[in-house]
Structure 1
Amino acid sequence: MRPRDDSAASAPEGNAAPGRAQRGIQSVEVGGRLLRALAKARAPLAPTDLAASGDIPSSQAHAYLVSLTRLGLIKRDALSGRYEPGPLALRLGLLHLAQQPALREAVPRAAALAQSLNCSVALCIAGPQGPTIVRYEHASLPLHVNLHVGTVMSLRATSTGRVFCAFLAPGALETLWATQTAQPVWRGTGNAAPQTTAASQEPAGTPLPEAAFVESLDAIRARGYESGIDAPSPGVSSVCVPVLGPQRELSLTLTAIGATGALDVRPDGAVVRALLNAAAEIAAAAFPSTPTCPE
């Protein structure tokens, strides 16, 4: 069945009469329901589930799925048959991120840090599955770790993840924690606590008690950064600092990554000082009225 398109394109927005709803293309808006349903699910969906979530009959949804796939807004996994965001959707998402003030200010500074500190530098934001790398500057020296744009970091096993746990708003953290673990959120006096995913495989062992984890998050907030040595990958260490927004919300993180022994993770070392200074500069430039260092 061909999708019905019984609406006409609207006049340019600037010419619309005040208070009047503008006409759009109904079929575009119906297709948008499928995209919205996929985004809300935060996981690949079978065609029938996607149609149901978008409140569209399966027979009608098929034509929309074909068109959205041709456009690259979604793609279908050849093995599972499930739909997930396509390359065009990802490019649009990255384009949107590039317009965000903090990320725009952070990109050139990340490149400068990678060169001056001779280490890799990752910029991460809160993605649907956890802290997600949106920019990765490679070190000149080889590093035996598979990190790239799109990598999701473990909330618990990585320094980046623990900074997210310490500074991300509790409601947002609960969502990421549930996505990564399928376990109840650990409650505490600070933010909720966490666990794992992909470049984020949690090391074997007994999870930290709730009180100990909450205490560790308080310590991260107090010093304003977190480090990791030989974790989650042996031979690789990291230092991560937050960039905070106007309401002291976590905007993004800066993470320096290098070989253990070569990366200076000392509290008063060059890497910690450089990252804290860069985070303060980013916040000052992106959010002029925002305090420049964590309390």
Structure 2
Amino acid sequence: MASNQAGILTPPASGPRGIQSIEIGYRILVAIQMGPGAVALKDIAARAGVAPSAAHNYLVSFVRTGMVKSDGRGLYRLGPSLAALGMTAARDVDHFELVRVAAVELAEETGLGVAVVIWSNGPVILINQAAVRGRIFDLRNGPVEMLHTAAGHVFAAYLPASAVLPVLVRELETDGLAVTQAEAQARLERIRRAVIDRGYSVVELRTLPTYVAVSVPIWNTHGEVAYGLTITAPMSMLDTSPGSAQIRALREKGRELSRLLGAPAERWAG
């Protein structure tokens, strides 16, 4: 999926013919989901890319069905009927399959290798998707380093220091570097700041010096980082600047997954 100028995910133009009004209604619901809190009609319309009068007509029906709640001041929230549907869906959705399909889509869109990484006393590759266009090595599932992987830097940036500092110290000691607690904390802070300032991590792979990896966080319903979503390629094939098509595709996929996993809107909106 792509995002419109308001940051709302929109379905692809190609594919089977559907019912446009349902798709517009979906965009309106996502516009409310973006929050924060109750959202004004004019903001809903702008985010959904429709006229305020059209948005109002949809909202009237959504309020009648309980999918949206109005506070009577022209502000709207998602309603109890939608919450009930969401709770049922949450029980039925296979998150692993959701993330796996997203990795395949990202590999097809960028032509690069894609990995999904979790944290289990260190980064662990859960899913890897080989590059569609070849010439890029195939990652293997299993534990990887934190200090020398892009997903490792994502976890270092957003997990509590108590979880990542012992891993950082252990990896430095494995490299033959003894550091004090203060030195370890300073190194962790440099990693955190680089990732937070950029919005994603960029790491040149130590095991393959001519390769670079870029990773973004995927957030869960509690606003905690659940996965690192990573693309990998030779340096000559991957433009790591914020405006590159590859980075935009990665970040949009990370935001889409975060939204589908129920993350707070501030983690994915816009």
Q: Give the TM-score taking structure 2 as reference length.
A: 0.56
Rounded Cα–Cα distance in structure 2 between residues aligned with 1:146 and 1:186:
36
CA-CA distance at 1:216 after TM superposition: 3.9
Question: Which residue number in structure 2 is paired with residue 163 of structure 1?
Answer: 154
SS at match of 1:265: coil
1:251 maps to amino acid:
A
Is residue 235 from structure 1 mapped to residue 210 from structure 2 by the alignment? yes
> What whole-Å deviation, never above 9, does each CA across 1:158-197 have from its counterpart, x for those lacking one?
2222111111222221343355345667458xxx65xxxx
Q: Is the 8 A contact 1:246 1:290 kept in 2?
A: no
Q: Secondary structure at the match of 1:261?
A: helix
- Please identify runs of 4+ aligned residues in structure 1 that moved more than 6 A: none
Distance 1:144 1:124 in 2: 18
Aligned equivalents of 1:223, 1:138: Cα separation in 2: 26
Query: What are the within-5 Å matches in structure 2 for residues 100-249 of structure 1?
Result: 103-128=96-121, 130-143=122-135, 145=137, 147-150=139-142, 152-182=143-173, 186-187=181-182, 210=186, 214-229=189-204, 231-249=206-224
Q: Alignment identity in percent?
A: 22
Contact 1:160 1:253 in 2 (8 A): yes
- The question of whether the paired residues in 2 share the 8 Å contact of 1:124 and 1:131 is answered with yes
Q: Give the number of the structure whose alpha-carbon radius of gyration is greater.
A: 1
Matching residue within 236, 252, 257 for 1:282: 257
Number of aligned residue pairs: give it: 175
SS of 2:236's equivalent? coil
Mapped partners of 1:149, 1:233: distance in 2: 17
Report which of the two has the higher share of helix: 2
- The farther-off stretch of 152-161 and 174-183 is 174-183
Choose between structure 1 and 2: higher strand proportion. 2
Q: Which residue of the partner structure matches residue 77 of structure 1?
A: none
For structure 1, the 5+ residue unaligned runs are 1-98, 194-209
Matched with 1:262 is 237
User: CA 1:217 to 1:293, structure 2 compared with 1: closer, same or farther past 3 Å?
Assistant: same
Partner Cα separation in structure 2 for residue 117 and residue 146 of structure 1: 15
Whether the 8 Å CA contact 1:227–1:239 is kept in 2: the answer is yes
Contact 2:130 2:137 in 1 (8 A): no
Q: Distance in 1 between matches of 2:120 and 2:222?
A: 20
Deviation at 1:111, TM superposition (A): 0.3
Aligned residue for 2:7? none
Query: Does structure 2 conserve the Cα–Cα contact (< 8 Å) formed by 1:159 and 1:227?
Result: yes
Contact 1:169 1:250 in 2 (8 A): no
SS at match of 2:209: coil
Cα distance change, pair 246–135 in 1 and its aligned pair in 2 (3 A) = same
Q: Distance in 1 between matches of 2:204 and 2:156?
A: 18
| Amino acid paired to 2:132 | S
Tell me: CA distance 1:230–1:143, structure 2 relative to 1, closer, same or farther (3 Å).
farther
CA RMSD of aligned residues (A): 3.0
Give the secondary-structure state (helix, strand or coil) at the position aligned to 1:256.
strand
Q: What is the TM-score when the length of structure 1 is the normalising length?
A: 0.52
Question: Do the aligned residues in 2 keep the contact of 1:242 with 1:279 (CA within 8 Å)?
Answer: yes
